[in-house]
Amino acid sequence: MTDTPRRLRVLAAMSGGVDSAVAAARAADAGHDVTGVHLALSANPTSFRTGARGCCTLEDSRDARRAADVIGIPFYVWDLAERFRQDVVEDFVAEYRAGRTPNPCLRCNEKIKFAALLDRALALGFDAVCTGHYATVVRRPDGSRELHRAADLAKDQSYVLGVLDDRQLAHAMFPLGDTRSTKEEIRAEAERRGLAVARKPDSHDICFIADGDTRGFLASHLGSAEGDVVDEDGRKVGTHQGAHGFTIGQRKGLRLGRPAPDGKPRYVLDISPVNNTVTVGPAEALDVVGLTAIRPRWCGAAPPAGPGRYTAQLRAHGGEAPVTAEEADGELRVRFDQPVRGVAPGQAIVLYDGTRVVGSATIATTERSRAAA
């Protein structure tokens, strides 16, 4: 919606970081009627961040308020902690319990920022929700919208927005996506505007795990239970304190008591929550040649029926892989031109046609060129 000159009522989601503050300022500069809102997503927020981890502290709320004051826009704090707990945190824990590897950032964009927040914004008469994501919404002549990568591919965040549908795109605004400003230039712009968050560290990792200890967080929710680590032939090579603490493709932290016969590193090939077993093996056993994904969501119009040629991205900071994909019986079936590694059920696959985001789906099963035991 950045291509229309019409004055819009815009609700700017302000996390307390530099990107969302500059995005809100740019929306105001464009002549829109902007209101800032900080989402309180933690039921018991801490006062201060730990380094660059997390984004839901009282400090972040205050930083967002100060930025709104400098920009000269109204500001509110909305409590969405219970919705966030149900739709993001509990989903995260449940996916790991089932042996899958979720992406909570996609779920937050789908369920919180462009569902709960957007629904409330529209009910209050706003036209669009503005965020500091690096992506671009393009309006076509027929009025439909397309989601594209950011102008600066190094900062592109379209992967975590691949869950947005046509209705959500129609009310999305990403003021940072169509500029090639480096992060340092964004920070310099924030300084020129007098925004105190100009040099504030970016948030990393999972926002609701402020100390970065995902395994400890899962253990506190799912408990600890000793299980076996086995090789491809089923031989026990170690133990663990909970299969939920591992993800497919993981190499570090396996603590194996028996080295591989060839002396090469071993990786997690399979996670079985039913018998609390983790299977490990060589890197080449991770090669995936195809997959089936569920709950496809299309960014705009659905692609034509039948097989199509796309590129696929499998993680937020990963590269693209050429694929043939088609939707059949409500599932997305994908074949890779060349084997790829580190693909785990629960992750999102996002399809692209050039820079355009076609859509996304959640990986359910994978087909490997070499089957694990």
Q: What order of strands is seen across the sheet that includes strand 267-272?
A: 236-240, 227-230, 277-281, 267-272
C-alpha 256, offset from chain centre = 31
Which class for 116: exposed (0-12), middle (13-18), buried (19 or more C-beta within 10 A)? middle
Cα separations in angstroms, 129 against 23, 95, 174, 252: 11, 29, 9, 40
CA nearest neighbour of 272 among 148, 373, 351:
373
- The catalytically annotated residue of 55, 105, 130, 207 is 207
Contact 136, 178 (CB under 8 A): yes
CA 115/CA 109 separation, integer angstroms: 8
Cβ partners under 8 Å of residue 44, min gap 6: none
Residue type, 209: I
DSSP code per residue over 36-73? EEEEE--SS--SS-BTTB-S-SHHHHHHHHHHHHHHT-
- The catalytically annotated residue of 56, 108, 130, 299 is 108
Among this protein's residues, is 108 annotated catalytic? Answer: yes
Say how many C-beta atoms besides its own lie within 10 A of residue 275's C-beta: 8
- State the pairing for strand pair 145-149/75-79: unpaired
- In the chain, the N- to C-terminal Cα span, in Å, equals 50
CA 300/CA 139 separation, integer angstroms: 11
Q: Which residues are designated catalytic?
A: 108, 207
